Structure 1
Amino acid sequence: MKTEVYLVRHGETLFNRLNKVQGWCDTPLTIKGIDDLKKTADALSQIHFDNMYSSDLKRAIDTVHLMKDANQVSKIGKIKKLPEFREVFYGSFEGGSIDDIWLGVSKAAGIPATTDVKKIIDTIGIYKFREVTKKADPLHLAESTEELETRMCRAIKVLRKETSGEGRVLLVSHGDFIKTLGIKYWKENDGLHDITFPDNGSVSQGILDEEGNFEIVDYNCKAEDL
């Protein structure tokens, strides 16, 4: 059977608020983040889910429990954590200033220095952007295009296995990872161009078919649009 997947981005965190790089490192949800998530949870409270999942990072786990506690029509047991849906890894840039990482990436790309990540991506392309980020990382630990693609494909396979027999599920993941899924799987994108970064607490909807094919049919929806 086909499975509807509601992809939720976690709420605002301390590092989001401080404009710091947050991939595999983790910081708590802010009060604003929790308040915004309550709006998303309320918008989804009357939608039945057969199960709920999350990345294994705490900001995602805290988010999925807010969704679970607010839902009035689902009987969800223990939340299963799927590490494949972690955020993109930024290596030694983790915890640093977001402006500093993009200055370093623009320098490594050989383009005029900028803190505007959209300008960098528009100039060098979304796939080269990952390679240049890895190059700019002093320890070269940041995920490359190939590494991220491999993990993303593994994530879809794991999700298909976990959700077998489930008609609708909710999954909490992260901004850059959801965006990367959108670039590849959103039906309104050609897979080659950048798309809008999803908002904290936003919902993207996908369909996972019996063969494991995945398509995103709605992307970055705010609570009031659900």
Structure 2
Amino acid sequence: MAVILCFGLAFADNGKLENVQAEESKTVTLYLTRHGKTMLNNTGRMQGWCDSPLTQDGAAVAEKLGQGLKKAGIFFDAAYSSDSGRAIETADLVLRNCGQEALTLKKEPMIREVCFGIYEGATPPEAYGAASKALGFSSVEDMMGAVFGGKISIYDAVTAMANTDETGSAETWGEAQQRVAEGIVKIAEEARLNGQKNVLVVSHGMAISAFLSAVNPEIVVGELGNASITKIVYDGKTFTVESVNDMSYVKDME
């Protein structure tokens, strides 16, 4: 994607996402977090805008993340989640276990997961069957082999899947990337204007990956762990990725 049009976003010469409307620089650190594991994650089904509750293990890893953040001395000035139940539940558990349950959690629909439209709740073979044929592969397994082999990107597969949704409700990668980027810029700008430095943002695996690819197209993101931290610093103009898929806060509590 060459340009994001809304919220004054643009790509700089170095490929990094910029907010060209920012007036002064105040550093904000975003702790982007993937929600804990859910029932649909356990059954291997597509979970975009549809929802399911955290499993026992999913809740436990969110609790450990909160405890690990507290142990590391990291406290938040603001907290956001998508408006999906699994993200809200994760954020509540993190805040409770890092001793910040009194902090108001704000829900932001723009940082929801990619919408899979008619394929919500389907298994990957069901969801990507038509997409694999559209991309010239004989099977979903061959297409996924090409993804893991670096011949095509998961972004291509998601877009091909969206294009086979006859209802037109599934999002292409570019559409999801634009939406999520606008949402995270909105959060970062609000924090900057309020003088807030550390911000918890609980979102979703593909949504976070979409934002990372907007910040820096050269970043290769594998599957993000549940309750992983991706740390991004916003200086009022550009976003800089400091770490991706960091599970150290959870592991410190195991």
Which TM-score applies when normalising by structure 2?
A: 0.79
1:4 matched to which residue of 2? 29
1:30 matched to which residue of 2? 55
1:70 matched to 2:89? The reply is no
2:158 matched to which residue of 1? 130
Which aligned pairs between 1:57-96 and structure 2 lie closer than 5 A? 57-72=84-99, 74=100, 76-96=102-122
What is the RMSD of the two structures over their aligned residues, measured on CA atoms? 2.1
Equivalent residues of 2:112, 2:203 under 8 A apart: yes
**Offset of residue 141 of structure 1:** 2.0
Equivalent residues of 1:50, 1:169 under 8 A apart: yes
**Offset of residue 127 of structure 1:** 4.3
**Offset of residue 209 of structure 1:** 1.5
1:174 matched to which residue of 2? 204
**Code of the aligned partner of 1:134:** A
Gap regions ≥5 residues in structure 2: 1-25
**Alpha-carbon separation, structure 2, partners of 1:103 and 1:62:** 32
Deviations 1:61-99 (A, max 9, x none): 000000111113x57432111111100111100011123
**Alpha-carbon separation, structure 2, partners of 1:153 and 1:219:** 17
**Alpha-carbon separation, structure 1, partners of 2:215 and 2:144:** 20
1:184 matched to 2:214? The reply is yes
**Code of the aligned partner of 2:207:** F
**Offset of residue 197 of structure 1:** 1.2
Equivalent residues of 1:14, 1:28 under 8 A apart: yes
**Alpha-carbon separation, structure 2, partners of 1:28 and 1:10:** 10
**Alpha-carbon separation, structure 2, partners of 1:149 and 1:208:** 18
**Alpha-carbon separation, structure 2, partners of 1:16 and 1:55:** 17
Of the three residues 200, 225, 234, the one matched with 1:199 is: 225
Equivalent residues of 1:3, 1:167 under 8 A apart: yes
Equivalent residues of 2:78, 2:198 under 8 A apart: yes
Deviations 1:116-175 (A, max 9, x none): 764343333354333311122232321113312321331133112321211111110001
The 3-state SS of whatever aligns with 1:171 is strand
Equivalent residues of 1:91, 1:143 under 8 A apart: yes
**Identity among equivalent pairs (%):** 31
Aligned length: 220
Equivalent residues of 1:106, 1:120 under 8 A apart: no
Deviations 1:167-210 (A, max 9, x none): 11111000111122222325xx615xx42110111111011111
Which TM-score applies when normalising by structure 1?
A: 0.88
Equivalent residues of 1:53, 1:79 under 8 A apart: yes
The 3-state SS of whatever aligns with 2:218 is coil
